[in-house]
Amino acid sequence: MSGHSTYQPQNKFLQWFEKRLPLGGLIHSSFVAYPTPRNLNYLWTFGGILAFMLGVQIITGVVLAMHYTPHVDMAFRSVEGIMRDVNFGWLLRYLHANGASMFFLAVYVHMFRGIYYGSYKEPREVLWILGVIIYLLMMATGFMGYVLVWGQMSFWAATVITNLFSAIPGVGDAIVTWLWGGFAVGNPTLNRFYSLHYLLPFVIAGVVVLHIWALHVAGQNNPTGIEPKSDKDTVAFTPYATVKDGFFMAVFCILYAWFVFYIPNFLGHADNYIPANPAVTPAEIVPEWYYLPFYAILRSIPDKLMGVIALFASILVLAFIPWLDTSRVRSARYRPLFKQFFWLWVVACVGLGWLGSKQPEGIYVILSRVFTVYYFAFFLIIMPLLGIFEKTKPLPNSISESVLGAKA
């Protein structure tokens, strides 16, 4: 995808094939000869981890779909059938349910890293926006997958989230009825969520291909935020990046396996082991942990429509940060003020996550509002102004200079 390939197969058949479809050359130039900055830290292994998690989710999901029944009267029972009667069904289901959490954990690390090191800046704007699109698709997919279990929390999460669209003036109620396929969350809703839950991961995979393509055109950013200038600044993808990614993927799998085998229900909600019952509303309805910050933003605003707008704006604003951030320096390593504001923003995100799980009352509402204001101020006020007022530290002349010291 970048540069011309020097791939010269020895095998006669591969030579014959390469003349007709240069697939080997594409793979070789993308994943073998592709130059990666030599100074990448372990935060850069999360792209590979995310690709791995997408693969795990698709494979376990396709097999789960073979045993699942998308019908309101049978969905919960079929999930329990997977847990009880399908050989290693419990393993597939726990891998898939906890896999979603691991996928989101990895994507959050990946996004925080991108913001910290300025990976969204010119010439990587399209790469970044493709990432925001993948994240949106992930959120939709994860939500619909959670509904498929058809437990109490599945049903009521579906009700709450689809009801958000009723805030749209005039046509809101009509849109909600259209989304449900009826006048309440019911069998048509479950069926279409199932269909879309199966479709969207392949859409994600398609956008991931574009994301990687854009990455290989622009090249990877790195902790210094300056572009590689010579061969001394880079190492070949294989073996260097492959072995490093592989090592950290193994570390990540230990965490994943810990959840799957030892605490598989830790991240879930006990209520979702109660079959969905439209007649009984749980005392409180909470989404999965990875949506909690956005849930807190939604609830921090007293007006429903404004809350929904803030919820969507909090995600969409990410697509605009290549232009909201006016600083020419990419990496927070050389931006002393940005670094502080960034960590405050991380605190706000995590704080909103905590508040999303709390009853919206008293001090929790006030804190949610403070964090919500800061969340948006970070992008809309701090990012544009810092580029003008911040005094950045001097940048090294090259990546190898930053690694080897000025004398090299």
Residues in contact with other proteins by the rule CB under 8 A? 38, 77, 80, 83-84, 90-91, 94, 105, 108-109, 235, 239-240, 243-244, 246-247, 250-251, 253-254, 257-258, 260-271, 273-275, 280, 282-284, 286, 288-290, 292, 350, 353-354, 356-359, 400, 403-405, 407-408
For the beta carbon of residue 345, count every other beta carbon within 10 angstroms. 22
Work out how close the CB of 252 gets to other proteins at its nearest, in angstroms, rounded to a whole number: 10
Looking at the Cβ atoms of 282 and 387, the one nearer to other proteins is: 282
Residue 361 exposed, middle or buried by CB count within 10 Å (0-12, 13-18, 19+): exposed
Q: How many CA atoms lie within 13 Å of 84's alpha carbon, on the beta-carbon side?
A: 6
Residue 236 CB, shortest distance to other proteins, in Å, is: 10
> 340, 327, 330, 346: which is closest to 390 by C-alpha?
327
Angle of the 187-218 helix axis to the 46-67 helix axis, nearest 10: 150
- Least spacing, CB of residue 253 vs other proteins, in Å: 5
Nearer to other proteins, 386 or 399 (CB): 399
| Closer to other proteins by Cβ: residue 93 or 211 | 93
| DSSP of 169-203 | TTTHHHHHHHHHTSSSS-HHHHHHHHHHHHHHHHH
Contact status, residue 311 vs residue 376, Cβ threshold 8 Å: no
| Residue with smaller CB distance to other proteins, 220 or 392 | 220
Q: Give min distance, CB of 272 to other proteins, in A.
A: 8
CB of 358 to other proteins, least distance (A): 8
Shortest Cβ 154–other proteins spacing (Å): 13
Q: Which is nearer to other proteins, 109 or 337 (CB)?
A: 109
Neighbour tally for 178: CB within 10 Å: 11
Q: Compute φ and ψ for 172, nearest 5 degrees.
A: -50, -55
Q: Which two tokens stand for residue 350?
A: 């995590």
Residue 234 phi, psi dihedral angles, 5° rounding: -125, 160
Q: Looking at beta carbons only, is 21 or 250 nearer to other proteins?
A: 250
Q: Which is nearer to other proteins, 49 or 129 (CB)?
A: 49
Closer CB to other proteins, 243 or 366, in the complex: 243
- Quote the CA–CA distance of 319 and 133 in Å, as a whole number: 8
How deeply is 250 buried, as exposed, middle or buried, from its count of CB atoms within 10 A (0-12, 13-18, 19+)? exposed
Which residues touch 236 (CB under 8 Å, ≥6 apart)? 32, 33, 34, 35, 36
Least distance in angstroms from the C-beta of 367 to other proteins: 13
For residue 214 the two structure tokens come to 């854009």
Query: In this complex, which beta carbon is closest to other proteins, that of residue 43 or of residue 168?
Result: 43
Q: What are phi and psi of 276, to 5 degrees?
A: -55, 135
Query: Smallest distance, Å, CB 356 to other proteins?
Result: 8
Q: At what angle do helices 336-356 and 89-116 cross, to 10 degrees?
A: 150
State the nearest-atom distance from the C-beta of 389 to other proteins, in Å. Answer: 31
Amino acid at the residue 344:
L
Residue 400 beta carbon to other proteins: minimum distance, rounded to whole angstroms:
8
Distance between CA 11 and CA 122 in Å, rounded?
41
